[in-house]
């Protein structure tokens, strides 16, 4: 099912949607382009493709041909694929020599955004692939997170929460990427104070099939551990623990409630300037 993406495509193609981008217009010429002249979209956010689905598509192409042309843009003597990489891969698997294509003129900015929007709408990216795509847009096109959120019709916390996953160690990112760990697991692991222990704790999550709630409890326990020579922490009552859990989910980061005799405090952790801005936005605190 396609997911709504606000004004993303509309901002790039005022008279077109992602669907009409591939629709043949009156002035379009469909050309046969040799597969060897095609190169994949350099801004393609998807790193892995389902081999079984590509094989199924290849079989369909062998029987019925390619019904819908791919969309490309000319780059030197080659053609970069804008939309249709799965069809291109399946065509290669079906041993075709050429493929029907519509040639469009596009800037790199348009190429990058269309690649992300196409994948978000038609085939879910993993949270890591999505985060890497957002980071690529920010770095290469000099977007701020706020500008990117508006461009893609997302909330800023949504963008930030995804991008925070890139702070995970590479081996743990791969566990999220292949579905062994969920995005919720990844975000919770970032609440661990001793970041060097993240891979170790992630391995424990996988080994014992811990859900996010169980991982939250484990992280809380690990964060409260102190050397034996120091005073043992006072066990928090059930109400305080439940409130901490609610606040962690609300802010998307580690939150601790510390109570003293006649006073107390709430500590909200952040891991970067962007993360701090995200939290301030949630708190509706305006910055000067």
- For every residue of 223-274, DSSP letters joined together read HH---TTSPPPPPPPHHHHHHHHHHHHHHTS-EEEEE-SS-EEEEE---SHH
Same domain, 74 and 102: yes
On whether residue 20 sits in a domain, the answer given is no
What's residue 176's pLDDT?
94
Q: Which of 91, 106, 121 is the last residue of a domain?
A: 106
On whether residue 208 sits in a domain, the answer given is yes
- Residues 9-22: pLDDT tens digits? 344 333 344 454 55
Element (H, E) at 130: helix 127-141
Q: Which of 106, 131, 156 is the last residue of a domain?
A: 106
Range of the domain at 201: 182-226
Per-residue b or e along 261-272, where b marks 16 or more CB atoms closer than 10 Å to that residue's CB: eeeeeeebbbee
What's residue 287's pLDDT?
57
How far separated are the first and last CA of the chain, in Å rounded? Answer: 41
Query: Is residue 174 over pLDDT 90?
Result: yes
Annotation says 85 is catalytic: yes
Same domain, 259 and 190: no
The model carries a pTM of: 0.56
Q: Which of 84, 106, 128 is the last residue of a domain?
A: 106
Element (H, E) at 31: strand 30-34
d(CA 122, CA 9): 14
Residue 245, exposed/middle/buried by CB under 10 A (0-12, 13-18, 19+)? Answer: middle
How much is the average pLDDT of 36-42? 88
SS3 111: helix
Q: Give how many domains the chain has, as a whole number.
A: 3
On whether residue 245 sits in a domain, the answer given is yes
On whether residue 134 sits in a domain, the answer given is no
On whether residue 129 sits in a domain, the answer given is no
How much is the average pLDDT of 164-193? 93
- Average model confidence (pLDDT) across the chain: 80
What's residue 40's pLDDT?
86
* Cα angle: 1, vertex 211, 161; to 5 degrees: 55
On whether residue 99 sits in a domain, the answer given is yes
**CA–CA distances in Å: residue 231 to residues 67, 158, 205, 224, 227:** 71, 39, 29, 11, 8
Backbone angles phi, psi at 234, to 5 degrees: -75, 130
d(CA 147, CA 94): 42
Same domain, 97 and 53: yes
Same domain, 220 and 246: no
Same domain, 32 and 86: yes
What is the domain-level CATH number for residue 76? 3.90.1530.30
What's residue 88's pLDDT?
92
Same domain, 215 and 254: no
On whether residue 139 sits in a domain, the answer given is no
Same domain, 222 and 242: no
- Residues 157-172: pLDDT tens digits? 888 899 999 999 999 9
On whether residue 150 sits in a domain, the answer given is no
Catalytic, out of 85, 129, 216, 277: 85
Same domain, 38 and 71: yes
Same domain, 38 and 95: yes
How much is the average pLDDT of 279-286? 78
């Amino acid at each position: 099912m396609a997911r709504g993406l606000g004004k993303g495509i509309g901002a790039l193609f005022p008279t077109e949607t992602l669907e009409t981008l591939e629709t043949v217009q009156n002035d379009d010429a469909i050309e046969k382009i040799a597969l060897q002249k095609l190169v994949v979209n350099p801004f393609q956010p998807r790193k892995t493709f389902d081999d079984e689905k590509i094989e199924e598509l290849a079989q369909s192409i062998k029987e019925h041909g390619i019904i819908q042309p791919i969309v490309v843009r000319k780059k030197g003597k080659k053609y970069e694929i804008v939309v249709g990489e799965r069809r291109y891969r399946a065509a290669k698997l079906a041993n075709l020599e050429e493929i029907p294509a519509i040639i469009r003129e596009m800037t790199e900015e348009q190429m990058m955004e269309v690649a992300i929007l196409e994948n978000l709408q038609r085939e879910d990216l993993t949270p890591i692939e999505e985060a890497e795509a957002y980071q690529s847009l920010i770095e290469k096109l000099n977007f701020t997170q706020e500008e990117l959120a508006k461009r893609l019709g997302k909330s800023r916390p949504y963008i930030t929460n995804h991008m925070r996953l890139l702070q995970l160690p590479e081996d743990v990112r791969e566990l999220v990427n292949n579905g062994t760990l969920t995005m919720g697991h990844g975000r919770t692991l970032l609440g661990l104070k001793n970041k060097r222990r993240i891979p170790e704790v992630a391995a424990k999550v996988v080994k014992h099939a811990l859900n996010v709630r169980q991982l939250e409890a484990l992280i809380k326990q690990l964060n409260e551990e102190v050397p034996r020579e120091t005073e043992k922490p006072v066990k928090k009552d059930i109400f305080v623990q439940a409130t901490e859990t609610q606040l962690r989910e609300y802010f998307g980061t580690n939150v601790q409630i510390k109570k003293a005799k006649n006073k107390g405090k709430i500590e909200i952790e952040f891991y970067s300037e962007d993360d701090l801005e995200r939290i301030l936005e949630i708190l509706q605190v305006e910055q000067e």
